[in-house]
Copies of this chain bind each other. A is one copy, B any other.
Amino acid sequence: MSNHRYLEAVDMGIDTHEEPVVYMRKDCDICRAEGFEANTRLLIRHGERNLIATLNTVSESVLPNGGIGFSKSAWRYLGLTAGLEVNISHAPVVQSLSAMRKKIYGNALSETELASIIHDIAERHYSDIEIAAFLTGCAGGRLSLEEIIALTRAMVDSGSRIHWRQYPKVFDKHCVGGLPGNRTTPIVIAIASAAGLTLPKTSSRAITSPAGTADTMEVLTNVDLTLDQMQSVIHQTGACLAWGGRMNLSPVDDLMIRVERALDLDGEGQLVASVLSKKIAAGSTHILIDMPVGPTAKVRDESQARRLADLFHAVGEALDVRVECLTTDGTQTVGDGIGPAEEARDVLAVLRNDPGAPADLRERALLLATHLLVMANGDSYEEAESRTREILETGGAWQQFLRICEAQGGLREIPRAPRQKIFTSERSGRLTTMDNRRLAKLAKLAGAPSSAVAGLRLQAKLGQRLAAGDPLFTLYSDTPGELDYASDFYQSNRDIFEIA
C-alpha cells in the first residue's frame, strides 16, 4: 500500500514558536482515508529532511484543496518554498519514547537510551508534551550523576562542536540565573584576553529579561558572526563577544529549555547539562561558573550552591573540562542601567575608568577575571588580582575591547533614546528595597530589548538617604506610547522602591 500521500506546501504565516504544526483540511481525502484528526502526529518528508508535526485541521476557507499549511518553525526546518510537494504519512512510533516512559516509572536510563531520547528531540520527533513529560520525569533529583553525564554528552553530540586545535586552553565564564543589569561578561572577556587567555565567548539574546549579553554587545558592535568569522576574530585578538544563535551549539538545549521555562522547572541535572553542553560544544576546556546566591536568585542558599558546584565539578571531570564555581552576592542588581543601551553604557564606563562608572559592576568583573587568571596560570589570588586591576586601570582592557569590536566590524556609538522621563522620590527617607523583577518588567514595558535604547537608569542606590524630589530613576523609550505605558505601570507600582 502507498502509505504516503502528497500535498502542496503553503506558508500559513503562523508562528507557533518551536513546536512544528501542520494544517490540513478536515474534508481532504488524505485526512478521511488515513483517519487524521486534530492532534494526530504526522511524518512530513521533503527531500532528505523530515519532521514529525502535530496536525491542526482547518475549514475549507482556510486552505486550497490539495494544500497543506505549515507553521513557521516547520517551514524553516524543512526548507520549504510555496507549492513544493511534501509527503505525508502517519508518524512512526518514536522508539525512544519507551525509554522516556521507563524514566517516568522511576528506572535509570543507560547512556544509549539517553542518547536516543536527545537525538529524537533534536530531530523534532518529540511533541512539546513529550518533551514536558521527559523533563518532568528527570526533575526532582531523579537523574543520577551517571545520567547527567550521559545527558550532557548526548547534548554536545546533538550539534556542531568547535575544536580550537592551536589553543591548548580555552576559557569561558557563565552566570547561573542572571541578575538584572549584571553585564560583567564584556568587561571580564576584555580583561582576561588582554592577559593572554583565549575566550571564544558566545552569548544569547534575552529570552525573558530586558537584555541578554548579545543584545548589549549588539549596541556596541556586530555580533552576528559565522563560525569562520568568529575564528578569524579569535586569531586576531584571542577573544570574541558573539551571538551564539548561528553556531548550532547544543541546539537541543534550546528546544528543551523553552519547555522547562514554561513549566518553571529548574532541575539541577538539567541545568548542569544545559550549561556544560553549550560550553563544551564551543570548545572550552576551562569554565568559570558565577553563581549569585540570594532569596530571589536561582540559587537560594549556600547549601544548594555547594550541591550544584559538586555536580558541575563531577560532570566537568567526566567530560574532561575543568570547571570552577564561584558564589557571589545575588541579593541586588549590579550596575545602574537596565536595557541594552543603558547596560552598554555601564560597560564602557567601567572599561574607560570613567569616574561615574558603577563600582559594583567593576568589582564583580574584576573578581571573575581574577578567578579566570588563577585557573589559567595557577597564580595566587593576590598576584592575579593586581594583574587584572592593572589591566583595567591602565586602559589595557579598553584597548583590548576596542580591538575585539574592530575585528567584529567596528565600535558603534551608543544611541540615545528620543524619549525620557525622570521619576523622583515622593518622600524623604532611606531606600531600603528595590523589586528587581518589577524593575525588569518596567524596562520591558518601555520596549527593551527589541528597542535597544529602551530601559532605565537607576539614580539611587540601596541604603541611600533621599529627600522628597530626589531622582530615583530615568525611564527611556523609543516611542511616546511605550513611555506612557511604562509610566502608567510605575504609577500603580510605586512600591518597587521602598523608602523607610
Chain A interfacial positions (CB closer than 8 Å to B)? 1-2, 12-17, 23, 26, 29, 32-35, 37-39, 56-59, 61-62, 71, 97, 101, 104-106, 127-133, 135-137, 139-141, 258-259, 262-265, 444-445, 447, 450, 481-482, 485, 488-489, 491-492
> A1-B492, A133-B132, A488-B2 in contact; A104/B38 too (CB < 8 A)?
no
Q: Are A263 and B133 in contact (CB under 8 A)?
A: yes
Nearest Cβ in chain B — how far from A262, in angstroms?
6
Give bound CA distance, A135 to B105, whole Å: 12
Q: Shortest Cβ distance from A140 into chain B, in angstroms?
A: 4
In angstroms, Cα B106 to Cα A166, docked, is 48
Closest residue on chain B to residue A134 by CB atoms: B136
**Quick one: closest B residue to A106, CB to CB?**
B140
Q: Are B264 and A97 in contact (CB under 8 A)?
A: yes
Q: How far is the CB of A451 from chain B (nearest CB, A)?
A: 9
Given contacts A16-B39, A130-B132, 15 further A-B contacts (CB under 8 A): A1-B485, A1-B492, A13-B62, A14-B57, A15-B26, A15-B57, A17-B39, A32-B450, A33-B445, A33-B485, A35-B445, A39-B262, A104-B136, A129-B132, A130-B262
**Which B residues are in CB contact (< 8 Å) with A445?**
33-35
Identify the closest chain B residue to A40 (Cβ). Answer: B17
A93's nearest neighbour on chain B, judged by CB, is B264
In contact, A129 and B491 (Cβ under 8 angstroms): no
**What are some 10 contacts across the A-B interface (CB < 8 A)?**
A1-B492, A13-B59, A13-B62, A17-B38, A17-B39, A33-B482, A35-B445, A56-B71, A132-B136, A133-B263
* A140 B262 Cβ-Cβ under 8 A: no
**Cross-chain contact of A62 among B14, B16, B101, B488 (Cβ < 8 A):** B14
Give the complex CA separation of A482 and B1 in angstroms.
12
Q: Is the Cβ of A265 less than 8 Å from the Cβ of B133?
A: yes
